[in-house]
Structure 1
Amino acid sequence: MAADPAPRIRVEVAFALPQRQRIVELTVPEGTTARQAVTLARLEELFPEVAPATFREADLGIFGKALRDPQRQPLREGDRVEVYRPLKIDPKAARAARAARDAGKGR
């Protein structure tokens, strides 16, 4: 008798650009990691304007909580893996620039 296949779980992988977003639903073997799910989602085909390395190297999170080690983080049923785009400017630097600009306007 053949062995039962590994149990499978349903997860989602989400990625967004300013003008559009996509959530890919997947059914993967139990034990699949967050990084593996991103690879299986084939986001580089859905977002050809984004460099493929972005998806291989991006920070990942599950339901808004950043993952320290996405290569080793196993997923659970119903998890939504989020692919975070790199920041264009450091948030502290952006706040400082706004404050300096606003100070010059007499605010």
Structure 2
Amino acid sequence: MKVSVTYAEARHQAVLDAEVEEGATVEQAIIKSGILKKFGGLDLGSLKTGIYGKLVPLTQVLAAGDRVELYRPALGKPPKKGAAAAKEEAGSEEEAA
């Protein structure tokens, strides 16, 4: 059955098709696709994986047509919603004055 495996970095993205057996797992599809060789330095054990945006383990069994996604670690901390909203509101009040 045919599935695709995708990974993206800031300057390089790839979507690779892989032909896998029925009952294949996410891990097997990633290995079969060759994406780990294309993006040297990827550590499968430390990456999160998903299917169509939903996090799944490497042991997840695939269905025909699934898109396996490799998620790279986030760089830095996202701003806190409350603090970001308060800062934005304070900035708009200063502009109005």
- Taking structure 2 as the reference length, the TM-score comes to 0.76
Q: How many angstroms apart in 1 are the aligned matches of 2:17 and 2:30?
A: 11
| Residue identity matched to 2:36 | E
Q: Cα 1:80–1:37, aligned 2, differ >3 Å: closer, same or farther?
A: same
- Size of the alignment, in residue pairs? 94
SS at match of 1:71: coil
The answer to whether residue 48 in structure 2 is matched with residue 56 in structure 1 is: no
Cα contact 1:39–1:56 (8 A) shared by 2: no
- Structure-2 residue corresponding to 1:10: 2
In structure 2, distance between residues paired with 1:56 and 1:45: 15
Pair 19,30 (structure 1): closer, same or farther in 2 beyond 3 Å: same
Gaps of 5+ in 2: none
Which of the residues 73, 76, 80 maps onto 2:63?
Answer: 76
Q: How does 1:1-107 map to 2 (within 5 A)?
A: 9-48=1-40, 51-53=41-43, 55-67=44-56, 70-92=57-79, 96=83
Is residue 13–residue 24 contact of structure 1 (8 Å, CA) maintained in 2? yes
Q: SS of the counterpart of 1:29?
A: coil
Gaps of 5+ in 1: 1-8
The Cα shift of 1:42 comes to 2.2
Deviation at 1:98, TM superposition (A): 9.4
Aligned identity (percent) is 35
- The structure-2 alpha-carbon separation of the partners of 1:83 and 1:94, relative to structure 1 and needing over 3 Å to count, comes to farther
Q: CA RMSD for the aligned pairs?
A: 2.6
